[in-house]
């Protein structure tokens, strides 16, 4: 069993600071679209609300 720590802090209505044991990242979310960037790279995601469907594309950076 492992212990995980994650914290999400809203800076503005569309801007989030994500903190975890593995590092930090910043997310911009506009409707169903979001862009996340941090020291490990950047990604774009889109989701269809209420359906459970989502798409994520790593734009740059290392694979986890």
Domain around 29: 6-51
Number of structural domains (the chain) is 1
The mean per-residue pLDDT over the stretch 37-43 comes to 91
In a domain, 35, yes or no: yes
Q: Which residues pair with 31 in a beta bridge?
A: none
Is the pLDDT reported for residue 9 higher than 90? yes
In a domain, 37, yes or no: yes
What tokens were used for 60?
Answer: 């740059």
How many CA atoms are closer than 13 Å to the CA of 5, on its beta-carbon side?
Answer: 6
The mean per-residue pLDDT over the stretch 28-46 comes to 94
In a domain, 64, yes or no: no
Distance in angstroms (rounded) separating the CA atoms of residues 12 and 28:
9
In a domain, 62, yes or no: no
In a domain, 38, yes or no: yes
In the structure, what pLDDT confidence band is assigned to residue 22 with cuts at 50, 70 and 90?
confident
Q: Note the pLDDT of residue 60.
A: 81
What tokens were used for 44?
Answer: 């774009």
In a domain, 43, yes or no: yes
């Amino acid at each position: 069993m492992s212990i995980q720590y994650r914290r999400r802090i809203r800076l503005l209505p569309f801007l989030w600071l994500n903190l975890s044991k593995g590092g930090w990242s910043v997310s911009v979310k506009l409707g169903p679209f979001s862009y996340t960037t941090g020291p490990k790279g950047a990604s774009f995601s889109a989701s269809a609300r209420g359906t459970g469907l989502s798409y994520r594309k790593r734009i740059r950076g290392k694979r986890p």
